[in-house]
């Protein structure tokens, strides 16, 4: 499951995506309109700034804004930053791999194979999903199968 932090990050980014190109948005405006605790949101937005997704401006007309168009920000980038890995098991993670303590034969383990396929599918779907495509007025996401041949791990 996604943490509240990741969920709030995605919600805040959708708000900023809707305002893209219209100048900075105050933290208080995001917090109030999206029902996110402001103190928690401040930390999340700072992390997104360090990640290179957001910029900020100080002053009366200050706030946060997207540094890139919503079409160029992938959901995978955000999820991976806040969750650390997309894989459900460490033994299938390419970024946080740890050997499985239960496997006797990791290469042939059917559970590992299943969860690797799930990881690959999830990673490819999240990588192919831009912030733009999850904005409220964007067309519905496709239910078309995702090509699993180009998985770059999680």
Q: For 129-153, how does the pLDDT look when each residue is reduced to its tens digit (9 = 90+)?
A: 999 999 987 665 555 555 555 545 5
Q: Terminus-to-terminus CA distance in the chain, angstroms?
A: 15
Q: Where in the chain is the domain with CATH 1.10.10.10?
A: 4-66
In this predicted model, what pLDDT tens digit does every residue of 38-72 receive, in sequence order? 999 999 999 999 999 999 999 888 899 999 999 99
CA dist 46 to 13, 29, 49, 76, Å?
12, 16, 5, 18
The one-character DSSP state at 130 is B
Residue 154 confidence (pLDDT) above 70: no
Report pTM. 0.84
% of the chain with per-residue pLDDT over 90? 69
Mean pLDDT on 5-9:
97
Assigned CATH class of 4-66: mainly alpha
Residue 3 confidence (pLDDT) above 80: yes
């Amino acid at each position: 499951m996604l943490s509240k932090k990741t969920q709030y990050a995605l919600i805040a980014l959708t708000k900023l995506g809707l305002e893209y190109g219209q100048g900075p948005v105050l933290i208080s405006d995001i917090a109030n309109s999206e029902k996110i605790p402001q103190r928690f949101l401040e930390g999340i937005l700072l992390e997104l700034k360090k990640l290179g997704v957001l910029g900020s401006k100080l002053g009366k007309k200050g706030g946060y804004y997207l540094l890139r168009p919503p079409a160029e920000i992938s959901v995978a980038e955000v999820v991976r930053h806040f969750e650390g890995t997309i894989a459900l098991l460490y033994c299938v993670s390419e970024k946080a791999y740890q050997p499985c303590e239960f496997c006797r034969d990791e290469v042939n383990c059917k559970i590992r194979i299943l969860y690797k396929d799930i990881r690959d599918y999830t990673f490819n779907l999240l990588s192919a999903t831009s912030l733009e495509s999850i904005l409220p007025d964007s067309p519905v996401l496709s239910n078309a199968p995702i090509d699993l041949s180009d998985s770059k791990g999680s």
